[in-house]
Chain A
Amino acid sequence: MSREVRQRFDVLVVGGGPAGVAAAVRAAEAGVRVGVVDDNVNLGGQIWRGGPEHEKETSAAGWISRLRASGATILCGLRIFHQPEAGVLLAEGHDDLHVLSYTKLVLATGARERFLPFPGWTLPNVTGVGGLQAMVKSGLPIRGKRVVIAGTGPLLLAVAAYLREHGAEIPIICEQASWSSLARFGVALFGQPGKIAQGLQLKRQLAGIKFSANSWPLAVHGKAAVEAVVIFRRGQTEAIACDYLACGFHLVPNIELPLLLGCQIQRGYVRVDDYQRTTVQEILCAGEPTGIGGVELSLAEGQIAGLVASGQMTEAKKLFGARNRARYFARSLDRAFRLRSELRRLPSPDTIVCRCEDIRYSRLSRHTSWRSAKLHTRCGMGPCQGRVCGTSTEFLFKWNPDSVRPPILPVRVESLAAMSSELDLECSGVSGGHK
């Protein structure tokens, strides 16, 4: 049996991205006992994570060094999979099991990219947009490679700028949203000085890159890996040779843990009040799970959650204004990059939708619910537990996600067998005599 580690915190923060780090900093600086858990071995979340080179950037370095100085316990590389009883979470480490008790819990579980299936999307070198950035950060040579970027959302531009800075050639960025919707988004940005500056900066970095709205990938061609991508643009199809297709259709919140803990979900996001409190007592939520909004909103929500969790209500209130402005931006973002219904027709009958179980579109399209599809085809029943295909089928077929059961991610059987936190149960030996 693996080693068991027990720790108790006044405030336990799940997620080491901007929201989680900000929550932990504000709580720990008030002197309470704080723990931050992240499944990755590095802090930073999807957005800040990277090599040491990356931590110099933006506000990331500031926040992370503040966290390191705050006295909070940083628990990286732990995967939370279950709450065996109220106030206790179980997490699996590389070779141990952690029993984490809390008085207040801040969920800052972040978001993941949404993938949509289309012919060829499972070929090597078709990656997520954020996924490719992460691969480059961890050493993938990208200099001189041709990378087509497609999908939707501001991440396309940010990653295009990043990849180009690292020597990639970006023949085109295909944004599925329409010009008019983007224009409305642009309009909504007035009143957001920070965002405009950011936009202008990106604009300089992106100068000369072809950007096409109303445009999306139709198919990928290649034998062993991507050789070309066929895109729809200006009402026509066009083949573009490339080495990589980085594709992402905006973000979906990670709400598996909030669901397991019984937090109410409203329109796909965790419901919180002004103080970032969920519908479950002692549990707060901040960042992308309450609504996709990016770093600034996450920092504001995270700080509020950390302050509230450590009893600093007045301080928290001071940040409501900043949080609400960032939230306004987030809502306009969601509207601008809403997925167009044409994308539902991207897969062909034999396009694989569930990569874990090799389930093709034609087998799914006859089902009327996610549960029915899961039971009869095993779609979403593999190691990713539907995190990839569940989010695409939610869009493709308008299916509602299923309930969540422990473990919320695959764990060793021995970790499940240690779930009973109070008792070290001996098997009572129903047949007896065989020991």
Chain B
Amino acid sequence: MTAASYDVVVVGAGIVGVACADQFARRGMRVAIVDRDMVGAGATAAGMGHIVVMDDSEPQFSLTRYSQTLWQGLRLELPDDVEYEQCGTIWIAADDEEMAEVWRKREYYNKRGVPTEVLDAQTLQRLEPNLRPMAGGLLVPEDAVLYPPCAARFLSERAQAHGAKFLLGDSVAQIGQGRVHLSHGLQLAAEVIVNAAGAYAPDLTPGLEIRKRKGHLVITDRYPGFIRHQLVELGYLKSAHSVTSDSVAFNVQPRRTGQVLIGSSRQQGAEHREVDNEILVRMLKRAQEYIPDLMQMSALRTWTGFRAATPDKLPLIGPWPADKSLFLAAGHEGLGITTSLGTARLLADHITGAKPEIPIEPYLPSRAAKVEVHA
């Protein structure tokens, strides 16, 4: 039987996969996207939906900032249920030492054209009265929040409108050499295969250095106006980037509904989906140190998800050296919602030979020397 043939087959219908499918389809390519579940069922459903510029490294900054401007450009097209709100992020400084970090961060952002505002203790208290008194903070007003499952659905509908074909509910057994084999026997032929399977990408591309990093979230009932910005402790960077140990950080988000999303935690090597009491308790006690009144709120649900973490904390975008039909768009850790749009553009530019707006080199899978071994 002849396999159905496409220009591009994207594996994984999370927000990164659907963003890629959308980009390829809009450029006139024949696209199929396959997923064992529905659109946005994995990390996309589990994540907070914080559109944030990060400055852990130059390439991380470039990709997050580039992607944020793409979200801003899309803003008017986003349906209401995507709940895009440019509420801004406040990086909270608990003491003078962290206040010094506020000033460093401000320098960095200002040099690169990202508006910021340094908040002293009183201004912070006025903006966020429910925070325990703190040394101050850095407001990044262009950061935003959105509801990821609906954002992914929006991108998937746009891809479909441009002819992308969605094959959902069938898992992928094998990919490579221009073929995608589905578990139920169906085969797809493709010039380009994009592995966008997130934390599960290594299952299909052995040798890929992506590890699951588990996170927990709690959502409360509705308390409109309780907090007004995404609030993140400055220690977040240290916590988010510790590759070896489990960590928690204060990171809370106001939803449009008035609900408060409470995070965050990072665990290495945890494979089970169940809520882990110990880390959840640590996470909530961390939040309590910043906002004591959170404790009296009604918690509706808890859940977990798996981030796709790479050793150097940057995503893998571009060709996989061992197979010329295979490309990667995976390993986005906690930034997949933000960087989905930038990833899709970069990859589509690279494949179609268009000039990219930021260099793709820092994200190329070939950067990891280990990759060559598998060639």
Interface-facing stretch out of B61-69, B121-129, B295-303, B316-324: B295-303
Q: Quick one: which of A410, A413, A425 contacts B296, CB cutoff 8 A?
A: A413
- Whether A417 contacts B295 in the complex (CB less than 8 A), given A371-B38, A405-B303, A427-B285, comes out as yes
Q: How far is the CB of B365 from chain A (nearest CB, A)?
A: 30
- A433 and B296 contact, CB distance less than 8 A: no
- Whether A411 contacts B302 in the complex (CB less than 8 A), given A406-B275, A431-B98, comes out as no
Asked if A140 is at the interface of the complex by the 8 Å CB criterion, the answer is no
- B38 and A433 contact, CB distance less than 8 A: no
**Interface pairs (18), CB distance under 8 Å:** A375-B41, A376-B81, A382-B221, A383-B221, A383-B298, A405-B301, A406-B275, A413-B296, A413-B298, A416-B281, A417-B284, A417-B285, A418-B281, A419-B277, A425-B285, A430-B249, A431-B238, A435-B289
Q: Kindly state the separation between the CA atoms of A40 and B150 in the bound complex, as whole angstroms.
A: 38
- A428 and B282 contact, CB distance less than 8 A: yes
CB closest residue in chain B, given A424: B281
User: Which of B233, B294, B301 counts the most chain A CB atoms within 10 A?
Assistant: B301
Asked if A194 is at the interface of the complex by the 8 Å CB criterion, the answer is no
Asked if B350 is at the interface of the complex by the 8 Å CB criterion, the answer is no
CB closest residue in chain A, given B248: A430
CB closest residue in chain B, given A1: B295
Asked if A432 is at the interface of the complex by the 8 Å CB criterion, the answer is yes
A-side residues, CB < 8 A to B, are: 1, 84, 368-369, 371-372, 375-377, 381-383, 385, 405-407, 410-420, 423, 425-428, 430-435
Query: Contact mask B65-103 → A, CB, 8 Å, 1/0?
Result: 000000000000000010000000000001101100000
CB closest residue in chain A, given B149: A375
Q: A382-B221, A385-B301, A430-B247 are in contact. List 14 more A-B contacts (CB 8 A).
A: A372-B38, A382-B300, A385-B300, A405-B275, A413-B220, A416-B280, A419-B277, A419-B281, A425-B278, A430-B249, A430-B286, A431-B233, A431-B249, A433-B97
Q: What are the residues of chain B within 8 A of A430 when measuring CB–CB? A: 235, 238-239, 242, 247-249, 286
Q: What are the residues of chain B within 8 A of A369 when measuring CB–CB? A: 38
Q: Kindly state the separation between the CA atoms of A431 and B249 in the bound complex, as whole angstroms.
A: 8
- A414 and B296 contact, CB distance less than 8 A: yes
Asked if B326 is at the interface of the complex by the 8 Å CB criterion, the answer is no
Q: Which of B271-311 contact A (CB under 8 A)?
A: 274-275, 277-278, 280-282, 284-289, 294-303
User: Which of B149, B280, B285, B302 counts the most chain A CB atoms within 10 A?
Assistant: B285
Asked if B192 is at the interface of the complex by the 8 Å CB criterion, the answer is no
Q: Quick one: which of B94, B248, B280 contacts A434, CB cutoff 8 A?
A: B94
Q: What are the residues of chain A within 8 A of B150 when measuring CB–CB? A: 376
- A432 and B221 contact, CB distance less than 8 A: no
- A376 and B149 contact, CB distance less than 8 A: yes
Q: Kindly state the separation between the CA atoms of A425 and B231 in the bound complex, as whole angstroms.
A: 24
Q: What are the residues of chain B within 8 A of A431 when measuring CB–CB? A: 94, 98, 233-236, 238-239, 249
Q: Kindly state the separation between the CA atoms of A419 and B275 in the bound complex, as whole angstroms.
A: 11
Q: Quick one: which of A1, A411, A418 contacts B298, CB cutoff 8 A?
A: A411
- Whether A412 contacts B297 in the complex (CB less than 8 A), given A375-B149, A434-B94, A434-B98, comes out as yes
Q: What are the residues of chain A within 8 A of B262 when measuring CB–CB? A: 413
Asked if B218 is at the interface of the complex by the 8 Å CB criterion, the answer is yes
A-B pairs with the 8 shortest C-beta distances? Answer: A431-B235, A434-B94, A414-B295, A417-B284, A375-B149, A430-B239, A427-B285, A419-B277
- Whether A433 contacts B94 in the complex (CB less than 8 A), given A372-B38, A410-B221, A419-B281, comes out as yes
Q: Kindly state the separation between the CA atoms of A414 and B236 in the bound complex, as whole angstroms.
A: 22
CB closest residue in chain B, given A367: B38
Q: What are the residues of chain B within 8 A of A423 when measuring CB–CB? A: 278
- Whether A420 contacts B278 in the complex (CB less than 8 A), given A413-B262, A433-B94, comes out as yes
Q: How far is the CB of A408 from chain B (nearest CB, A)?
A: 10
Q: What are the residues of chain B within 8 A of A415 when measuring CB–CB? A: 299
Q: How far is the CB of A375 from chain B (nearest CB, A)?
A: 4
- B303 and A416 contact, CB distance less than 8 A: no
Q: Kindly state the separation between the CA atoms of A302 and B218 in the bound complex, as whole angstroms.
A: 36
Q: Kindly state the separation between the CA atoms of A338 and B217 in the bound complex, as whole angstroms.
A: 40
Q: What are the residues of chain A within 8 A of B298 when measuring CB–CB? A: 383, 410-413
Q: Kindly state the separation between the CA atoms of A385 and B278 in the bound complex, as whole angstroms.
A: 24
User: Which of A84, A377, A426, A428 counts the most chain B CB atoms within 10 A?
Assistant: A428
Q: What are the residues of chain A within 8 A of B302 when measuring CB–CB? A: 405-407, 416
Q: Kindly state the separation between the CA atoms of A293 and B98 in the bound complex, as whole angstroms.
A: 63
- A413 and B297 contact, CB distance less than 8 A: yes
Q: Kindly state the separation between the CA atoms of A369 and B41 in the bound complex, as whole angstroms.
A: 12
Q: Kindly state the separation between the CA atoms of A416 and B298 in the bound complex, as whole angstroms.
A: 10
Q: What are the residues of chain B within 8 A of A382 when measuring CB–CB? A: 221, 300
Q: What are the residues of chain B within 8 A of A84 when measuring CB–CB? A: 277
Asked if B336 is at the interface of the complex by the 8 Å CB criterion, the answer is no
Q: Kindly state the separation between the CA atoms of A433 and B286 in the bound complex, as whole angstroms.
A: 13
Q: Quick one: which of B97, B247, B248, B299 contacts A407, CB cutoff 8 A?
A: B299
Q: Kindly state the separation between the CA atoms of A433 and B94 in the bound complex, as whole angstroms.
A: 8
Q: What are the residues of chain A within 8 A of B26 when measuring CB–CB? A: none
Q: What are the residues of chain A within 8 A of B294 when measuring CB–CB? A: 413
CB closest residue in chain B, given A416: B299
Q: Which of B165-220 contact A (CB under 8 A)?
A: 218, 220
CB closest residue in chain B, given A427: B285
Q: Kindly state the separation between the CA atoms of A426 and B239 in the bound complex, as whole angstroms.
A: 17
Q: Kindly state the separation between the CA atoms of A383 and B247 in the bound complex, as whole angstroms.
A: 29
Asked if B331 is at the interface of the complex by the 8 Å CB criterion, the answer is no
Q: What are the residues of chain A within 8 A of B40 when measuring CB–CB? A: 375
Q: What are the residues of chain A within 8 A of B270 when measuring CB–CB? A: none
Q: Kindly state the separation between the CA atoms of A372 and B152 in the bound complex, as whole angstroms.
A: 12
Asked if B243 is at the interface of the complex by the 8 Å CB criterion, the answer is no
Q: How far is the CB of B136 from chain A (nearest CB, A)?
A: 12
Asked if B45 is at the interface of the complex by the 8 Å CB criterion, the answer is yes
Q: What are the residues of chain B within 8 A of A427 when measuring CB–CB? A: 248, 282, 285-286, 289
- A413 and B284 contact, CB distance less than 8 A: yes
Query: Contact mask B4-48 → A, CB, 8 Å, 1/0?
Result: 000000000000000000000000000000000010110001000
- Whether A420 contacts B277 in the complex (CB less than 8 A), given A430-B247, A431-B233, comes out as yes
Q: What are the residues of chain B within 8 A of A407 when measuring CB–CB? A: 299, 301-302
Q: Kindly state the separation between the CA atoms of A307 and B69 in the bound complex, as whole angstroms.
A: 67
Asked if B153 is at the interface of the complex by the 8 Å CB criterion, the answer is yes
Q: Kindly state the separation between the CA atoms of A377 and B221 in the bound complex, as whole angstroms.
A: 16
Q: Kindly state the separation between the CA atoms of A368 and B299 in the bound complex, as whole angstroms.
A: 28
- A416 and B300 contact, CB distance less than 8 A: no
CB closest residue in chain B, given A415: B299
Q: How far is the CB of A117 from chain B (nearest CB, A)?
A: 20
- A410 and B300 contact, CB distance less than 8 A: yes
- Whether A412 contacts B296 in the complex (CB less than 8 A), given A418-B281, A420-B281, A430-B238, comes out as yes
Q: How far is the CB of A2 from chain B (nearest CB, A)?
A: 9
Q: How far is the CB of A63 from chain B (nearest CB, A)?
A: 34
- A416 and B285 contact, CB distance less than 8 A: no
CB closest residue in chain A, given B135: A434
